[in-house]
Structure 1
């Protein structure tokens, strides 16, 4: 068999796994940039050892073993990627000063396009559950030791047996079971959403309706409506700002006091998807030239009583990773103009 033929066979075997391996590395590292780099390293290592692959396990298991080892090596000595809620401080006062720490390597949202080709309804979703890349779940994983992360993901997410996990991690079944027990107890405290009853969530039609209302409230800069759409105990966090805010009214005060928008049409939300669910790119109008520019990416969580959690990522370099431009796309500019016209724009706006 020629090298070219070997390469074709190898690509046919492993390329379909790229999406789920990227999700795996993302769960471990908390960064889409790191995940894609590590998947590439996984493919390189697999290609170099392909002639030694004897088929005693499936190609998928073999690739996960390589990817897991690549991730564990990358995590050696590296600090975890937190969210503000994971820093250990109490909820912040919305009337206080905002503290930004851009030097912290914060958790990143995951564009659905990276693992589902733009649609979470692709057939690959059968092996890649939306819940397995939920932002809160990935954030909670970052609090575990790297071996615990690997054990939880391999056993609970990928449904490997304890013996398979032990073999992949080079340890014993007893050690895996012990690690899983400790890790699950920790995750239950950090990610209570994982215990939620899905039957209590709004149905799809109601979700669409609430998301449309959410977008309209932000675009009209109607803070009272935003507050009404939040659950009473909603949480708002926005890395690289270190504070987090609890309670719909508190979040409303935060928006009133710190949001640069003044009236309808100042901010426009463009729909995207992240971490297996809806997300929005928010473009803010610059009063100097009237151009709407990238401001932040929102990943909201919708529960029975309204929106329960909003993560707003102010790292605008993420827009490019989501395939979004720095300035508001042309097809959305008419909406901004219509909203501002309807609000009775005056000369100071």
Structure 2
């Protein structure tokens, strides 16, 4: 076989054994980094590093463990360069008026991620809970090494010995780090509520009210969807609103005339979501993404991400 033929064979073999793990690695990097943009970059870096060292891979661990080791350490390197990502509710008290908020200097925000990017239909139900926005935001309070250990052990169920190998540490260190991570996470995680599955009838009904409210300028539908203690967070700013009364003041101001908004439903972070378009005068242009938190008694949170790039990143058209 020629050298070129051998290289092509090796490349094909590498793709065959590593590509099946790409989506779950993206989910792992997203949990670590809370940014779909950063996670995609780190996954690309992971595959580049893996390809460069593939000839030296001796099979002492599975390909999956080997890739997770590379990806986790790439995430830890990325986290050395910045602080935690946040949601507005983690930055201060709720707003008392509708004055537009600003992005605090130096603060980076949690981003959403579309379910279609990270999960196959067969595994989707088991991954949803570990991707909810409240958990992703809470994970950001953990030091990077604690975050890695908690995700590898509790979410992905890797044995302690394999996690120790991935992080070049001891099993005892993994166990003690996990204990500290659990205690810290318990102290910053919001009280657990009953979040409805995004495909359930109740979640779909709340989603329909939300879309109807905006597309038809129907504030009654929006009010019907909200729980009394609902919150709306304007991610990218420090502004968030708490309670149905304040939320409805914001929504009534935002809905505009009937037909101004168009929304395409999908699932993000294990929750119902919409890709949002606003009337630009020449069709509808991307505005951003909203992620809803449904419960049996109504929506508890609406996270609004006013980032048009998320719409196309998640596979939706640049105009409708």
TM-score (norm 2): 0.90
Gaps of 5+ in 2: none
Q: CA, structure 1 residues 316+124, in 2 after alignment: closer, same or farther (shift >3 Å)?
A: same
Distance 2:186 2:52 in 1: 40
Following superposition, which runs of at least 4 residues in structure 1 exceed 6 angstroms of deviation? 200-203
Query: Any conservation in 2 of the 1:201–1:304 contact (CA below 8 Å)?
Result: no
Question: In the alignment, what sits opposite 1:112?
Answer: 115
Once the two structures are TM-superposed, the CA of residue 156 in structure 1 deviates from its matched residue by 0.6
CA apart distance, 1:177: 2.2
TM-score after normalising by structure 1 = 0.83
Q: Could you say what the CA RMSD is over the residues aligned between the two structures, in angstroms?
A: 2.3
1:165 shift after superposition: 1.5
Deviation at 1:163, TM superposition (A): 2.2
Change (3 A) 1:292 1:14: same
Deviation at 1:202, TM superposition (A): 9.2
Q: Distance in 2 between matches of 1:204 and 1:228?
A: 18
* Counterpart-to-counterpart distance in 2, 1:59 and 1:75: 24
Shift of the alpha carbon at 1:274?
A: 1.5
Q: How far off is 1:247 after superposition?
A: 0.9
Q: Structure 1, unaligned stretches of length 5 or more? A: 330-349
- Is 1:25 matched with 2:29? yes
Does the residue aligned with 1:272 lie in a helix, a strand or coil?
Answer: strand
In 2: Cα distance, 1:296 partner to 1:246 partner: 21
Equivalent position of 1:276 in the other structure? 270
1:1-349 equivalent positions in 2, closer than 5 A: 2-87=6-91, 89-93=92-96, 95-101=97-103, 104-116=107-119, 122-125=121-124, 129-192=127-190, 195-197=192-194, 204-257=200-253, 259=254, 261-286=255-280, 289=281, 291-327=283-319, 329=320
Q: Deviations over 1:94-138 (max 9, x none)?
A: x2422221864322111222223xxx6x23437x61122222211
Aligned partners of 1:132 and 1:157 also within 8 Å: yes
Cα separation, 1, equivalents of 2:14 and 2:317? 36
| Alpha-carbon distance change, 279 to 153 in structure 1, aligned in 2, over 3 angstroms | same
After superposition, the C-alpha distances for 1:211-238 in whole angstroms (9 at most, x for unaligned) are 2222212222222331221111112101
- What is the match of residue 345 of structure 1? none
Residues 15/83 of structure 1: CA separation in 2 closer, same or farther (3 Å cut): same
